[in-house]
Amino acid sequence: MAERIGLVSVAVPPGDVLDTALDIAHRMAVGPQHALRWTKRSLNHWLRTATPAFEASIAFEAMSFFGPDVAEAINAAIEHRAPSFPEPLPW
């Protein structure tokens, strides 16, 4: 499923992991080095600049774990009922 939704580029059975990784490494080693170098630099730059926003996003998501909605969701699941959340905040 991860491959189907784009989380990974290839999925292989456990016994084929090493052979597949070596095949990909070989194709990269004999590929266009200049293009690969700049692609890697571009991706690393994106990762460095996106990391602060990603970390903030994780922090905001974590904050939601401590609100009253969590207790209501857990109680509703235990009691096999639909949760009853308060009115949305006026954003």
Domain boundaries, the chain: 27-78
Q: What is the pTM of this model?
A: 0.48
Per-residue pLDDT of the chain (91 residues; tens, 9 = 90+): 777 877 788 889 999 999 999 999 999 999 999 999 999 999 999 889 998 998 999 999 998 888 888 989 999 999 999 999 888 777 7
Question: How many CB atoms neighbour CB 11 within 10 A?
Answer: 13
The two structure tokens encoding residue 45 = 């730059």
Q: How far is CA 42 from CA 27, 36, 38, 56, in A?
A: 20, 10, 6, 22
Report the b/e string of 64-89 with b at 16+ CB within 10 A: eeeeeeeeeeeeeeeeeeeeeeeeee
